[in-house]
């Protein structure tokens, strides 16, 4: 009996994510490439309780699902999941933890929502396919980001590299050779909602200029996909550098990001760029495996508060 008391009824988890190419432009219908980051996860546990509550341990928050406002992301994903399953709110305490930095471009909000859905499905003994789970998480992404592209929820739910165009089904694609990245956190929190809103306002004021920038980002993503499918890893470096130049012209880089990008390149990275909303958060550097440690050290020396090494593994998806 005691072993049951000390064990959750169910668990769920979801990884972080990085956008390799195409952020911001993806909101305007251009393609983007993203991949999961399995080195960091959000996790949810279901425990018996008198009422349905969500405890966000890292944020020191406790939310009663039945009483929380409509725009509370924790309560919203719980209620959406129950609606999808045609179940009442369960008498559960849903305990949420996350290793993924918040407001840093690694998909923390989407991963937390996906982890909650998966834990609830396990608790109910129910199933939803990835498309249905992604659609639920997307509804919560609207709270976090205002006008989300849909890429975060797609990658963290499917847990594989995807080629994504807004309004179309996500498309996994072949990765011919391992692709190694070092991810560095500036330590500057930058909610994606703010950066997306600023780009939207700038686009409305100068549509021709921003459409050209979005076209350029989309063309870079096209070329990057071909390079990844062919295993031409060195070709990705200059494409990352060019994508960073375009993002800087959009106004979403920052001095902290620029410093880390310069440090990574100086340490031998093949290319580097911001990842996600920008204005802070994380940057990514493409590295050869044997040089990853050197780039890691250089980024710490340049002021990164956290550095993660990750690899996009080969796949045979066609």
Q: Is the pLDDT of residue 25 over 90?
A: yes
Q: What is the pLDDT of residue 50?
A: 95
Contact 108, 98 (CB under 8 A): yes
Averaged pLDDT, 213-237:
96
- CB burial of residue 267 (10 Å; 0-12, 13-18, 19+): buried
CB atoms within 10 A of CB 301: 10
Yes or no: say if 297 and 188 are a contact pair by the CB < 8 Å rule: no
Would you report the helix, strand and coil content of the chain in percent, each value rounded to 5? 45, 25, 30
Question: Residues 155-159: what's their mean pLDDT?
Answer: 92
User: What mean pLDDT comes out for the span 247-263?
Assistant: 98
Least confident among 12-26, 71-85, 131-145, 281-295: 131-145
The Cα 277–Cα 34 span in angstroms is 13
Residue 37: strand pairing partners: 16
Q: What is the pLDDT of residue 5?
A: 60
**CA 195 vs CA 185, 201, 258, 291: distances in Å:** 17, 10, 16, 32
Query: Quick check: 267 pLDDT over 90?
Result: yes
Tokens read off for 271: 């290319």
- Please write the tens of the pLDDT for every residue from 177-197: 999 999 999 999 888 888 999
Q: What is the pLDDT of residue 21?
A: 97
In CATH, what number does 2-164 get? 3.30.230.10
Q: Where in the chain is the domain with CATH 3.30.230.10?
A: 2-164
Confidence bin at 230 (pLDDT 50/70/90): very high
Whether 152 and 73 have beta carbons less than 8 Å apart is answered as no
Q: Residue 148 — very low, low, confident or very high, per pLDDT cuts 50/70/90? A: confident
Yes or no: domain 174-312 corresponds to CATH 3.30.70.890: yes
User: What would the DSSP string read from start to end of 232-271?
Assistant: -HHHHHHHHHHHHHHHHHHT---HHHHHHHHHHHHTT-SE
Question: CATH 3.30.70.890 spans which residues of the chain?
Answer: 174-312
Say yes or no to pLDDT of 318 above 90.
no
Give the model's pLDDT for residue 34: 93
Mean pLDDT of the chain: 93
> Which burial class, exposed, middle or buried, applies to 58 when counting CB atoms under 10 A from its CB (0-12, 13-18, 19+)?
middle
Catalytic residue among 152, 185, 206, 215: 152
Q: Cα dist. 169→31, 221, 263, 283 in Å?
A: 12, 17, 37, 27
Q: What pLDDT band is residue 264 in, cutting at 50, 70 and 90?
A: very high
| Residue 317 pLDDT | 61
Provide mean pLDDT across the span 268-281: 95
Q: How confident is the model at residue 258 (pLDDT cuts 50, 70, 90)?
A: very high
Cα distances from 128 to residues 18, 192, 314, in angstroms, run 25, 28, 27
What is this structure's pTM?
A: 0.85
**Residue 152 falls in the annotated catalytic set:** yes
Predicted pLDDT of residue 1: 40
pLDDT at residue 143 in the model: 85
Confidence of residue 297 (pLDDT cuts 50, 70, 90): very high
Of 164, 200, 218, residue with least CA distance to 277: 200
Instruction: Extract the tokens encoding 221.
Output: 């993503």
CA 122 to chain centre: 23
Beta strands in the chain (DSSP E): 10-21, 32-48, 53-56, 61-64, 92-98, 162-164, 171-172, 179-185, 271-275, 282-287, 306-312
Q: Which tens digits make up the pLDDT trace of 87-134?
A: 999 999 999 999 988 777 788 899 999 999 999 999 999 999 999 999
Q: What pLDDT is recorded for position 49?
A: 96
Q: For 62-92, how does the pLDDT look when each residue is reduced to its tens digit (9 = 90+)?
A: 999 999 998 899 999 999 999 999 999 999 9
């Amino acid at each position: 009996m005691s072993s049951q008391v000390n064990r959750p009824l169910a668990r769920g988890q979801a990884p972080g994510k990085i956008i390799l190419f195409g952020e911001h432009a993806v909101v305007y219908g251009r393609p983007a490439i993203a991949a999961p980051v399995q080195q960091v996860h959000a996790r949810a546990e279901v425990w018996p309780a008198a009422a349905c509550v969500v405890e966000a341990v890292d944020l020191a928050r406790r939310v009663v699902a039945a009483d929380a406002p409509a725009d509370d992301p924790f309560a919203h994903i719980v209620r959406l999941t129950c609606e999808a399953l045609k179940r009442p709110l369960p008498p559960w305490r849903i305990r949420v933890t996350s290793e993924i930095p918040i407001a840093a471009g690694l998909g923390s909000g989407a991963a937390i929502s996906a982890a909650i859905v998966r834990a609830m499905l396990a608790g109910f003994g129910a199933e939803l396919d990835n498309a249905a789970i992604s659609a639920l998480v997307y509804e919560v992404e609207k709270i976090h980001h205002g006008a989300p592209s849909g890429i975060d929820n797609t990658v963290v739910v499917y847990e594989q590299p995807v080629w994504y165009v807004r309004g179309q089904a996500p498309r996994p694609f072949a990765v011919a050779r391992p692709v190694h990245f070092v991810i560095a956190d500036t330590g500057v929190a930058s909610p994606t909602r703010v950066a997306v809103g600023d780009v939207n306002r700038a686009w409305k004021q100068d549509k021709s200029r921003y459409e050209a920038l979005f076209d350029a980002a989309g063309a870079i993503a096209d070329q990057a996909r071909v390079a990844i499918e062919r295993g031409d890893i060195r070709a990705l470096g200059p494409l990352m550098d060019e994508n960073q130049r375009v993002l800087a012209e959009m106004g979403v880089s920052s001095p902290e990001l620029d410093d880390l990008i310069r440090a990574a390149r100086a340490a031998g990275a093949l290319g580097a760029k911001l990842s996600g909303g920008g204005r802070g958060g994380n940057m990514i550097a493409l590295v050869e495996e044997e040089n990853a440690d050197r780039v890691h050290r250089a980024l710490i020396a340049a002021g990164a508060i956290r550095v993660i090494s990750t690899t996009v593994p080969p796949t045979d998806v066609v």
